[in-house]
Amino acid sequence: MSTTLVMSLGELFKQTRRATGMTQTELSERSGIQKGTVSKIENDEVKRPEFSTVQPLAAALNISLDTLIDYYVEIEKRPDSLLHILQFTIQHQSSKETVCKVASKYLESANEDSYDLTNKLYTIINSIEDSTIQLTLYNLIIGYSRSHGIMPYIAKGMYQRYLIERNDFSKLKETYHDGKYILLYSDFLSLSERIELYYKLGVHAYNIRLYSESIEHCKEILTENIIEHKVNALGILRDAYFALEEYEESEFYALQYKQFNYPYVQDNIILMDAMFASHRGEFEKAQFMLTSFLETCKSDAAILAINQLLQIHIKQNNHKMAEVLINNNEISPISEDNPFVYQKYADHLHLRGQYYLSIGDYAKSINSLIQAALYYAKVDDTFKEKDCLNTVMRIHLDYDIPTQDTFEKLSTYYKKTEE
């Protein structure tokens, strides 16, 4: 509804009541509001009725909350009242447009300092469960803070927006660069927020294979003595250097990582030691470590061990052991809210595709590779996605696979990526 209203709130109530054939007495009985008060509101004798009074009237007249808000915010100027109305609209799941309208009106309050207004609005957003509403309000805070020069809330707003938007796995590259931009404002974040930002960016960069940048972010964490983040940063540094084939640096951080006695740390130590053993050509040692690990590990960690074992078997052309491993371990993407798990599941499907190709089962190889490409697409890993699809086309051309079958599978793949 336009902010230029064609009638007053009182006129809205009066016209709606008359259109339904309801008397003031009936409206009073249905709403619990005294008849005299109803009459005064309808005749605009109360210039700024309390929201707690008009809301029951609107409900009794079946006037939507969004419509009521459109009218009410035109007459309400008090910031505390507007903040209360904002919380009411959020609790009653009003549209994001209505929520934004109330919040904007609140920030326009002339009788309170702009910093205090922003601080109060920022404080209530964390309690909101709907991330779409959260994002709308953080964007509002960012825009308002820019126009009023409130640097801390430009930084905090962008930081919170990044934490929400990074959960869209299909845009991991885009949101990573948005997150990096916040570093320009990092001095306006608290120490805990700044360390958390570096950690999130370190993980994010690692997941999109920007290993050097991941290392840069994680080293910032080591300058502060926040143990939990320090432990995790050491693990990422170890893995990132390994991915860059800088093995001495990787082992340097692995030794530091081993000093911490957390359960998840012990699991990661076993997996990484197996990778070091495999790199040194100690395949039997690596296989023993991974096989023993699979007997006791949690399901989330199993895929990491299985992928390592499958890589070893493929590298050694041990087709029999690879077949046993695949047949005895049915893997699925356990956690749908973790891009790392999705990526490792995609890696697993990719390895299966390589195994089936090595034994000449081209149909299964193509199936696995297309499934892998689909999961790589879910986490915005276009490099690995294209690698899988290029391998599919190479198999098709090199081994004279029927055109119809391959194209049908690729067509299904492209339809799924557009969903």
The predicted pLDDT at position 254 comes to: 96
Place of tokens 């081993």: 258
What gap in Å lies between CA 275 and CA 268, rounded to an integer?
11
Place of tokens 């051309």: 397
The predicted pLDDT at position 110 comes to: 82
Three-class DSSP category at 381: coil
The predicted pLDDT at position 35 comes to: 92
1-74 domain in CATH 1.10.260.40? yes
Compute how many other C-beta atoms are within 10 angstroms of the C-beta atom of residue 400.
9
Residue ranges in 166-210 assigned as alpha helix (H): 172-181, 191-207
What gap in Å lies between CA 102 and CA 69, rounded to an integer?
8
What gap in Å lies between CA 320 and CA 318, rounded to an integer?
6
Place of tokens 């046993």: 324
Judge whether 200 and 166 are in contact, CB under 8 Å.
yes
- pLDDT tens for each residue of the chain, 419 residues long: 444 556 888 899 999 999 999 999 999 999 999 999 999 998 988 888 898 899 999 999 999 988 999 888 888 889 999 999 999 999 888 889 999 999 999 999 988 899 999 999 999 998 899 999 999 999 999 999 999 999 999 999 999 999 999 999 889 999 999 999 999 999 999 999 999 999 999 999 999 999 999 999 999 999 887 888 999 999 999 999 999 999 999 999 999 999 998 878 888 999 999 999 999 999 999 999 999 999 888 777 889 999 999 999 999 999 999 999 998 887 765 566 778 888 899 999 999 999 999 999 999 999 999 999 999 998 899 999 999 999 998 998 888 777 777 788 788 888 777 66
The predicted pLDDT at position 1 comes to: 40
The gap from C-alpha 328 to its chain's centroid, in whole angstroms, comes to: 33
Instruction: Name the residue among 254, 242, 325, 318 with its Cα closest to residue 279.
Output: 242
The predicted pLDDT at position 146 comes to: 97
What is the domain partition of the chain in residue ranges? 1-74
Cα 319–323–328 angle (5° rounding)? 155
Record the tokens describing residue 183, joined without a space: 């570093």
Alpha-carbon torsion (19, 20, 21, 26), positive or negative: negative
Place of tokens 């910032």: 220
Record the tokens describing residue 134, joined without a space: 């959260």
The predicted pLDDT at position 3 comes to: 47
User: What is the 3-state composition of the chain as percent helix, strand, coil, each rounded to the nearest 5?
Assistant: 75, 0, 25
Instruction: Name the residue among 349, 256, 268, 252 with its Cα closest to residue 301.
Output: 268
Q: Which amino acid would we find at residue 130?
A: D
The predicted pLDDT at position 333 comes to: 57
DSSP track, 201-255: HHHHHHHTT-HHHHHHHHHHHHTS--HHHHHHHHHHHHHHHHHTT-HHHHHHHHH
